[in-house]
Amino acid sequence: MHQLTKKELLISGQSPLKPITADITFKDNNQLKPLVIFIHGFKGFKDWGPWPIVANKFAVEGFCFCKLNFSFNGITPNNLSEITDLEAFGYNNFSKELDDIDRLLAHLDANNLSDQLQIDLNEVYLIGHSRGGGISIIKTSEDSRIKKLVTWASVYDFATYFSPAELMYWKTHGVVYVKNSRTGQNFPMYYQFVEDFLRNEERFVIEKAIIKVQQPTLFVHGTNDETVNINAAFQLKEWKPEAYLHVIERANHTFGGTHPFSEEKLPEDLENATDKTIEFLKE
């Protein structure tokens, strides 16, 4: 039985003061393995809840599993378990997140890390959760290095989240605040988020992106998703009929995961999502 190894990475982001933190978990057996990159969602981060247990499960099954924190998701290198840099969070946007995935892949390639971390860079797969699902769809549509795509509880349209009245308020005040119900924090989102969206509106249409995706795709969604309705998955499937859709009855948005997470095994629904994803990626 080979030991699981976990390597922490610190990668320079767009801003020198906001690095990308990431980690890669793999079975140390001197064999190259497919790289699975996990893309967190809005208010998410790489060590949220049970994601580290998910990483171990993938590694046991013969993958290199990489979780990354986007450089502007509000996580700092000295505190990976809570969002503390609210100013950075306020300046995050979709362009930065897509750029961060690029930077991660470039870092692995340029620094000869693929051999050291036993990564087969010819087999790169994305898993995106929630808003990260939308980001993963766009990235996959643009990048032939990505060979397979999986979304967990993905959004299907970014524009539906802003009503004209909200946009007007946002523009006038320059900032809106999003409540983190778990911690009670108010997270700022500066109007630059909207400006970035409007500048790149064509690029950020998930419908257009998913139609362009040629890679094998799996959508996973729960029927009791309280954040992104199950209809999002049906819409994605309608746009990409050849994709696989795996519906988990009564599963919520995080498939039973919570933060902090103290259990040693995955919640049943997350186990289901993980098993189905591993099966798909091994096909």
**pLDDT given for residue 16 in this prediction:** 86
The DSSP string of the chain is -PPEEEEEEEE--SSTTSPEEEEEEEE-SS--EEEEEEE--TT--TTSTTHHHHHHHHHHTT-EEEEEE-TTSS-BTTBSSS---HHHHHT--HHHHHHHHHHHHHHHHHTTHHHHTTEEEEEEEEEEETHHHHHHHHHHHH-TTEEEEEEES--S-SGGG--HHHHHHHHHHSEEEEE-TTT--EEEEETHHHHHHHHTTTTT-HHHHHHH--S-EEEEEETT-SSS-THHHHHHHHHSTTSEEEEETT--TTTT--SS---SS--HHHHHHHHHHHHHHH-
Q: Distance from CA of residue 230 to its chain's centroid?
A: 18
Cβ burial 67-96 (10 Å sphere, 16+ → b, else e): bbbbbbbbbbeeeeebbebeebbbbbbbbb
User: What's the pLDDT at 1?
Assistant: 60
Give domain limits for the chain: 4-159+201-282
Q: What residue type is assigned to position 244 of the chain?
A: Y
What was the pLDDT predicted at 271? 98
Token pair of 134, please? 């939308």
> So what's the pLDDT on residue 161?
81
Contact 136, 70 (CB under 8 A): no
pLDDT block averages, 10 residues each, the chain of length 283: 90 92 97 98 97 98 98 97 97 98 95 89 98 98 98 96 92 96 92 97 97 98 98 98 98 97 97 98 97
Strands 33-39 and 244-248: unpaired
* Cβ pair 102, 146 in contact under 8 A: no
Cα(253)–Cα(115) distance, integer angstroms: 36
**C-beta of residue 21 within 8 angstroms of C-beta of residue 13:** no
| Domain at 4-159+201-282: CATH code | 3.40.50.1820
